[in-house]
């Protein structure tokens, strides 16, 4: 693996599968009360410029269960919040810590942080990418379906960080993916081009449409996300209009395979992007997906921090 995990295309197919295999092992050990202090004596700094439930708790508990020390670092409490250059913060923290997880806005900022750091940097979420979530999603799909290769994933909603990382992750593993976004809410050109490149390389399909019904047809997995992500609250009303017809509901799911999974990275806005009925019918896999953030991230930590 690279020194850092900044985006999904940092990982090859084999590296993704190695992470998933280790995550499965760590989950099994946790369920059976087998301790695994693989990072004893290691410290992880966790920088949060965006608030979080799942990211903070899963990384903090995960580091603790691996025998290490997690440190919550709010940007309000760091000099970075008072104008210290990110390069200087990186060089200082590199002398104290063994790794940094950061949840922030700018992908460029996290890449500057990684370039200046001598320790691993993990992307806990940026506006462009959400690799930790996608690894947990892939882990969940494999648990439930037993395979990944050849499955069809449909993503319905905003062309956001989830959509971007999902395109790269699925196509890298030989899965077909169909994306349905409203006009004006497509993924950035980089991810469309990358998707086309990976689809050709791995002989799988990558399709984009404005019609959710076309995307969902015969899907093995249907994934959605909120219509207005953190930092987009001022656009909520505009987005409610643009995303009308993009709700994952009973009618839409009738077009997917009978045993299709539904995943949502949470928090969910019930009766907006997903109905209460569908969320509760698929609560088992959705909350397993949330739990798997813990196991997938522990695997990432071991792979990066134990070097």
Within 8 A by CB and 6+ apart from 82, the residues are none
Kindly list the catalytic residues.
103, 130, 133, 225, 265, 293
- Other C-beta atoms closer than 10 Å to the C-beta of 44 total 28
Calpha distance 248→250 (Å, rounded): 7
What is the DSSP code (8-state) at residue 203?
Answer: T
Residue 229 in marked binding region = yes
Residue 158 in marked binding region = no
Question: Hunting for tokens 């949840």 — which residue is that?
Answer: 103
- Other C-beta atoms closer than 10 Å to the C-beta of 35 total 10
Residue 132 in marked binding region = yes
Residue 205 exposed, middle or buried by CB count within 10 Å (0-12, 13-18, 19+): exposed
Residue 164 in marked binding region = no
Residue 95 in marked binding region = no
Calpha distance 225→207 (Å, rounded): 19
What is the DSSP code (8-state) at residue 5?
Answer: B
Residue 139 in marked binding region = no
CA 204 to chain centre: 21
Q: Are 273 and 227 in contact (CB under 8 A)?
A: yes
Q: Are 20 and 30 in contact (CB under 8 A)?
A: no
Residue 240 in marked binding region = no
Residue 183 in marked binding region = no
Residue 266 in marked binding region = yes
Residue 101 in marked binding region = no
Residue 53 in marked binding region = yes
Residue 270 in marked binding region = no
Residue 1 in marked binding region = no
Calpha distance 28→165 (Å, rounded): 26
Calpha distance 258→220 (Å, rounded): 9
Residue 148 exposed, middle or buried by CB count within 10 Å (0-12, 13-18, 19+): buried
Residue 258 exposed, middle or buried by CB count within 10 Å (0-12, 13-18, 19+): exposed
- Other C-beta atoms closer than 10 Å to the C-beta of 189 total 8
Residue 163 in marked binding region = no
Residue 91 in marked binding region = no
Residues tagged in the binding site annotation for L-ornithine: 161, 225, 229-230
Residues tagged in the binding site annotation for carbamoyl phosphate: 52-55, 79, 103, 130-133, 265-266, 293
Residues tagged in the binding site annotation: 52-55, 79, 103, 130-133, 161, 225, 229-230, 265-266, 293
């Amino acid at each position: 693996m690279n020194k850092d995990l900044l985006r999904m295309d940092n990982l090859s197919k084999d590296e993704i599968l190695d992470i998933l295999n280790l995550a499965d092992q760590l989950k099994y050990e946790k369920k059976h009360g087998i301790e695994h202090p693989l990072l004893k004596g290691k410290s992880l700094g966790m920088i949060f410029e965006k608030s979080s439930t799942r990211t903070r708790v899963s990384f903090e508990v995960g580091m603790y269960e691996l025998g290490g020390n997690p440190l919550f670092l709010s940007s309000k409490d760091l000099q970075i919040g008072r104008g210290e250059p990110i390069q200087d913060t990186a060089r200082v923290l590199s002398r104290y810590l063994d790794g940094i997880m950061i949840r922030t806005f700018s992908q460029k900022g996290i890449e500057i942080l990684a370039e200046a750091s001598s320790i691993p940097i993990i992307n806990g979420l940026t506006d462009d990418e959400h690799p930790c979530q996608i690894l947990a999603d892939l882990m969940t799909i494999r648990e439930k379906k037993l395979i990944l290769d050849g499955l069809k994933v449909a993503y319905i909603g905003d062309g956001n960080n989830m959509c971007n990382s999902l395109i790269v992750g699925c196509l890298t593993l030989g899965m077909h993916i169909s994306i349905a976004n409203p006009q004006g809410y497509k993924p950035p050109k980089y991810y469309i081009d990358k998707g086309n490149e990976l689809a050709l390389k791995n002989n799988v399909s990558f399709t984009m449409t404005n019609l959710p019904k076309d995307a969902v047809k015969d899907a093995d997995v249907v994934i959605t996300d909120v219509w207005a992500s953190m930092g987009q609250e001022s656009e909520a009303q505009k987005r409610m209009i643009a995303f009308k017809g993009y709700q994952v509901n009973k009618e839409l799911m009738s077009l997917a395979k009978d045993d299709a999974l539904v995943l949502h990275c949470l928090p969910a806005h019930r009766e907006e992007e997903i109905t209460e009925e569908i969320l509760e019918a698929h609560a088992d896999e959705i909350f397993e997906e949330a739990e798997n953030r813990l196991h997938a991230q522990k695997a990432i930590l071991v792979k990066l921090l134990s070097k």
